[in-house]
Structure 1
Amino acid sequence: MISLSPWEWVTERFIEKQFGLIAPLFQEIAFDKEVPILDLHEALSDWERNITEARAYVAQVIEHIWESMPALMARLPRIQGTPRSFKP
Structure 2
Amino acid sequence: MYVKKSFSKKKLEELADDVLITEKLSPGEESEARKQLSAARRETQSEMTERDRLIAHLLQLKFRLEDYINNKEYDEELTFGYFLKEVPAC
Larger Rg: 2
Structure 1-normalised TM-score? Answer: 0.34
Structure 2-normalised TM-score? Answer: 0.34
